[in-house]
Amino acid sequence: MPRHILTFAFLISSVCLAQNAVPAQAQTASQTAAPLTLTLQDALARARNNAPQFLSALTDAAVAREDRVQARATLLPTVTYNNEYLYTQGNGTPSGRYIANNAVHEYVSQGNVHQVVSVAQFADYNRTGAAAELARARAEVARRGLVVTVVQNFYGLAAAQRKYSTSQAAVQEASRFFDISQKLEQGGEVAHADVIKAQIQLNDRQRDLREAQLAMERARLDLAVLLFPDFNLNFTVVDDFRLEQPVPTSEEVVAEAKQNNPELAAAIAAVRQAQAELTVARAGYLPSLTFDYFYGIDATHFAVNNPDGARNLGYAAAATLNIPIWNWGATHSKVKQGLLRAKQANVELSAAQRKLLADLKGLYSEAQTAHDELELLRNSADLASQSLKLTTLRYQGGEATVLEVVDAQNTLTQARNAYDDGEVRYEVALANLQTLTGKF
């Protein structure tokens, strides 16, 4: 093969290797970087910047605000400047053959101040105000719902990490017990069946460890999708369960929920919007008034003054009263639609009020129960740890069976996992309760 071909092939391969090495180096640097430590407040801030449903609600609220700005603009006069040249086929007379125009050559260059006054405009302005209020309420509902989602995923990952540590401790304990049973068998103190049972227990705990690791990875993936736009997995969460935060009194919850419940506010805004839409529809039966003021040139020459010295600048004004007579029942149909929407909005408002009362009782009871059970779960975990130690000592002394030790190990793992689940349950219950009050 010629030397220049070999040289060219070597250069191409070098370039390809260099291009492939850059992403690998970047990936290695990303993996070796220190993990980002996140608190719950950090997670909430990141979720508000990345959650698509929450951002969609904010966008809807911003669009509703602009609709209100546009509706307000229709209540004010508009100013335009018109420029037009009209040519008419001549017939020997100044006006020409096409008599709709004023002359054979007509130049129009004038400003126009236009104003429309109608009940429909004011009603539509009120409708956009109610729609903006409804969008804000829905954005607040989305914000509080996002808090619950973040709390559930954040503390779910923290609990998954705890369970993984619990599974590691269970594997170590099962391995230690397996060694004890082997030594006792060698000394002729226990049967080989005890070693087999200890081996089975160790296998089960190793399998549980793999499942706990998988659950932890899944929890991390769920939280990463919620928090990071670039799908970053190099982070850790602070295990800061808010156990010190007590459940507020029922009187505080009821008082704050009546003032700060966004779902109830959204239902009230929906009723206002439906009523405003009904007013807009009924305004179709009423006349509208239009005002126009023109100032500029409307003459046969495009100039301030004609050749004869006459001044072309001038003004004109017009007022028009439009009275609706017949539109084949379209206005009547719109009124019927408005009545149906208003009726449905009132039904939904009544349902929202009932749902608020049910949530007040149900969510408060859930939070109170979850908080009260935490002490029992903690006590059970402590007792299970003591039971395992005592049972293992009794087994070594020949006073307990292998089944008792295995049962004590399983009880300890279950008690610790139940306590972790209880903490997550309390955090989620507290977040759900705070959706009624708005305090997080």
What is the structure's pLDDT at 241?
73
Q: How many whole angstroms separate alpha carbon 437 and alpha carbon 360?
A: 10
Each domain of the chain, given as residue ranges in start order, spans: 144-278+324-440
What is the structure's pLDDT at 293?
94
What is the structure's pLDDT at 218?
95
- Residue 85: what are its φ and ψ, rounded to 5°? -120, 125
Superfamily of domain 144-278+324-440: Outer membrane efflux proteins (OEP) (1.20.1600.10)
pLDDT tens string 405-424: 999 999 999 999 999 999 99
pLDDT tens string 226-273: 999 988 889 989 887 765 677 888 888 888 887 888 888 899 999 999
Does the pLDDT value for residue 9 go beyond 50? Answer: no
Q: For the full predicted model, state whether its pTM sits above 0.85.
A: no
What is the structure's pLDDT at 98?
60
pLDDT interval class at 92 (50, 70, 90):
low
**Taking residues 105-115, what's their average pLDDT?**
88
Q: How many whole angstroms separate alpha carbon 338 and alpha carbon 56?
A: 27
**Taking residues 176-192, what's their average pLDDT?**
90
Write out the two tokens for 118.
């109608």
- Which amino acid is present at 204? D
**CA distance to 169, 173, 408, per residue, from 206 (Å):** 11, 11, 17
What is the structure's pLDDT at 190?
87
Nearest to 279 by CA among 359, 335, 233, 343: 335
pLDDT tens string 326-344: 989 999 999 999 999 999 9
pLDDT-wise least confident of 107-116, 210-219, 378-387, 405-414: 107-116
What is the structure's pLDDT at 166?
95
Does the pLDDT value for residue 55 go beyond 80? Answer: yes
pLDDT-wise least confident of 95-109, 127-141, 235-249, 307-321: 95-109
- Residue 188: what are its φ and ψ, rounded to 5°? 75, 20
pLDDT-wise least confident of 3-12, 54-63, 251-260, 264-273: 3-12
State how far Cα 147 lies from the chain centre.
9
Write out the two tokens for 63.
């669009």
Higher pLDDT, 99 or 310: 310
Three-state SS letters, 363-426: HHHHHHHHHHHHHHHHHHHHHHHHHHHHHHHHHHCCCCCHHHHHHHHHHHHHHHHHHHHHHHHH
pLDDT interval class at 387 (50, 70, 90):
very high
**Taking residues 114-120, what's their average pLDDT?**
90
What is the structure's pLDDT at 4?
43
How high does pLDDT run on average in the chain? 86
What is the structure's pLDDT at 2?
45
What is the structure's pLDDT at 243?
55
pLDDT tens string 341-368: 999 999 999 999 898 889 889 999 998 9
**Taking residues 30-59, what's their average pLDDT?**
87
Does the pLDDT value for residue 26 go beyond 50? Answer: no
**Taking residues 30-51, what's their average pLDDT?**
84
The pLDDT > 70 percentage for the chain reads 89
Q: How many whole angstroms separate alpha carbon 216 and alpha carbon 204?
A: 18
Q: How many whole angstroms separate alpha carbon 3 and alpha carbon 8?
A: 9
Does the pLDDT value for residue 19 go beyond 60? Answer: no
**Taking residues 3-14, what's their average pLDDT?**
42
| Pairing status of strand 313-322 against strand 288-299 | antiparallel
CA dihedral 278, 280, 286, 289 (to 10 degrees): 170
Does the pLDDT value for residue 8 go beyond 70? Answer: no
pLDDT-wise least confident of 35-39, 198-202, 287-291: 35-39
Q: At what angle do helices 119-186 and 192-227 cross, to 10 degrees?
A: 160
What is the structure's pLDDT at 32?
60
What is the structure's pLDDT at 298?
85
- Which amino acid is present at 361? K
Nearest to 426 by CA among 361, 365, 371: 371
Does the pLDDT value for residue 87 go beyond 80? Answer: no
SS3 at position 211: helix
